[in-house]
């Protein structure tokens, strides 16, 4: 039998265990384009409901922007649907090189190479440029794709406490015997919404002769005065040796990612990075639309400015309404509930009130740190956010948590 019962039973048992732990992930079906307000079918079979979307990475509202959609159409008409090839065989069009040049200019780096996703960029870059004589020293809260990429690399792995510069310095001292030291961090941390202190990290890198890797997937397009990313925010553009980012969030939201940075590193990725060598080229409509996105963002900061206004409003209004948030400077605003079940219950009730959010809990975040992660978009407006806030207040009052601090919520609901 091709599918032995021993395998089937083992898989069923594992799925049941996931359900019993309460961490089974269910998809919600969206019956509209990605936007600040979407039509969602949930639970499956129910009539779709119009809700305010506070959980997408569509930070700049470009996922369904008419100019971006039109550019994708042009790409489709003029260069076709797919490449049926990896880049180095017969998968590189003028569009790909044009997009790589545009990203290099936008990010302020030396060169750029596209990957099918940022997950692939992070999966391939470490192995391509480091050896067993080197060390990678990563912030403990880096994205899972970085953890996987580091595991595929022969260089020694080490970690430092989240954003703890003293601990990082100690690790850099410990590893002075290595050929290359690479500090590894996210730009914006996706679960907490806080920023890596890149000015301090670059200073430490210079002091201890280390290189710096930043995944700026949650920062590219809007962090910094002209939206170039967290490196612009901290005034260290040109000093990041390896910058990875995604086209799947603020920069159009479809798919695709890149490694951008020192030209030799990019060149080595083109020769050695396995997800680049063994996976298809980014499809022409996506490349064409991404070029348009960078054009829009280079001409005007209007969208990132609006996003900043929304973020300021939300970061002030939510605590005033009586909730506990994680402080930060990004459009990711976690509303802390600490208890896993409470985060699930409140997210479910908010959906009934017309607000789409998701509760996150261990192991996605640390135990006892359950939360609802809200994310701002340039497509939200203040009246929309005020309505969402009313829903939060109503549901918060139902559970009696308004005005309670961490201790109060834990006393009432436990960790």
Tell me which residues are annotated as active site: 190, 218, 249
Min. distance of Cβ 357 from another protein in angstroms? 23
Q: 157 vs 226, which CB is nearer to another protein?
A: 157
Min. distance of Cβ 370 from another protein in angstroms? 12
Residue 162 zone, left/alpha/beta (φ > 0; ψ -120 to 50; rest): beta
| Nearest residue to 365 (alpha-carbon basis) of 343, 345, 389 | 343
Helix (H, G, I), strand (E, B) or coil at 169: helix
DSSP output for 10-63: HHHHHHHHHHHTT------EE-S-SSSEEEEE-STTSPPEEEEE-S-S-TTS-T
* Helices 66-79 and 284-299: angle between axes, nearest 10 degrees: 140
Min. distance of Cβ 142 from another protein in angstroms? 8
Q: 138 vs 290, which CB is nearer to another protein?
A: 138
Q: 362 vs 399, which CB is nearer to another protein?
A: 362
147, with CB counted inside 10 A (0-12, 13-18, 19+), is middle
How far apart CA 246 and CA 118 sit, in angstroms, is 5
CA angle, residues 62, 64, 70, in degrees to nearest 5: 100
Min. distance of Cβ 367 from another protein in angstroms? 4
The number of beta carbons lying within 10 Å of the beta carbon of residue 152 is 14
Q: 145 vs 310, which CB is nearer to another protein?
A: 145
How far apart CA 276 and CA 270 sit, in angstroms, is 7
Q: 240 vs 365, which CB is nearer to another protein?
A: 365
* Residue 115 token pair: 């990957």
Q: 9 vs 148, which CB is nearer to another protein?
A: 148
Rg (CA), the chain: 22
Q: 134 vs 379, which CB is nearer to another protein?
A: 134
How far apart CA 252 and CA 106 sit, in angstroms, is 15
Min. distance of Cβ 361 from another protein in angstroms? 11
For 136, 142, 181, 301, the CA distances from 150, given in Å and listed in that order, are 8, 11, 13, 35
What DSSP character marks residue 89?
A: I
Min. distance of Cβ 168 from another protein in angstroms? 13
* Helices 165-174 and 198-207: angle between axes, nearest 10 degrees: 20
Min. distance of Cβ 20 from another protein in angstroms? 16
How far apart CA 35 and CA 304 sit, in angstroms, is 16
Min. distance of Cβ 95 from another protein in angstroms? 37
| Nearest residue to 370 (alpha-carbon basis) of 30, 22, 54, 106 | 22
- Chain residues binding another protein by CB under 8 A are 138, 140, 147, 157-159, 161-162, 164, 362-363, 366-367
How far apart CA 247 and CA 229 sit, in angstroms, is 13
The number of beta carbons lying within 10 Å of the beta carbon of residue 298 is 14
Q: 161 vs 312, which CB is nearer to another protein?
A: 161
């Amino acid at each position: 039998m091709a599918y032995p019962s021993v395998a089937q039973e083992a898989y069923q048992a594992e799925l049941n265990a996931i359900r019993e732990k309460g961490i089974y992930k269910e998809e919600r079906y969206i019956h509209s384009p990605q936007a600040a307000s979407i039509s969602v079918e949930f639970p499956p079979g129910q009539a779709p409901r119009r809700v305010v979307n506070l959980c997408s990475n569509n930070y700049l509202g470009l996922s369904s922007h008419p100019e971006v959609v039109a550019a994708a159409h042009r790409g489709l008409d003029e260069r076709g649907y797919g490449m049926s090839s990896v880049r180095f065989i017969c998968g590189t069009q003028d569009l790909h090189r044009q997009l790589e040049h545009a990203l290099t200019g936008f990010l302020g780096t030396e060169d750029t190479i596209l990957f099918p996703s940022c997950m692939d960029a992070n999966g391939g870059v470490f192995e391509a440029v480091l050896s067993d004589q080197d060390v990678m020293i990563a912030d403990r809260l880096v994205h899972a794709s970085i953890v996987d990429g580091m595991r595929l690399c022969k260089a020694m792995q080490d970690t430092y406490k989240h954003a703890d510069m003293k601990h990082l310095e100690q690790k850099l001292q410990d590893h002075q015997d290595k050929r290359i030291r690479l500090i590894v961090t996210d730009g914006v941390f996706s679960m907490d919404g806080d920023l890596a202190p890149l000015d301090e990290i670059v200073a430490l890198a210079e002091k201890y002769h280390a290189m710096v890797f930043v995944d700026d997937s949650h920062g590219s397009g809007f962090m910094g005065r002209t939206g170039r990313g967290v490196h612009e925010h901290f005034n260290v553009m040109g000093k990041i040796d390896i910058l990875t980012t995604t086209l799947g969030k603020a920069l159009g939201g479809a798919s695709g990612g890149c490694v951008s940075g020192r030209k030799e590193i990019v060149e080595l990725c083109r020769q050695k990075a396995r997800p680049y060598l063994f996976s298809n080229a980014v499809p022409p409509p996506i490349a064409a639309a991404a070029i348009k996105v960078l054009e829009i963002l280079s001409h005007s900061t209007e969208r990132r400015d609006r996003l900043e206004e929304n973020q300021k409003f939300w970061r002030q209004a939510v605590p005033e309404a009586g909730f506990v948030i994680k402080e930060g400077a990004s459009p990711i605003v976690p509303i802390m509930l600490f208890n896993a079940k409470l985060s699930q219950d409140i997210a479910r009730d908010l959906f009934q009130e017309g607000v789409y959010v998701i509760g996150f809990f261990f192991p996605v975040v640390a135990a006892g740190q359950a939360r609802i992660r809200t994310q701002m978009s340039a497509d939200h407006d203040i009246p929309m956010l005020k309505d969402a806030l009313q829903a939060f207040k109503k549901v918060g009052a139902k559970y009696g948590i308004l005005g309670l601090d961490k201790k109060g919520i834990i006393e009432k609901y436990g960790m």
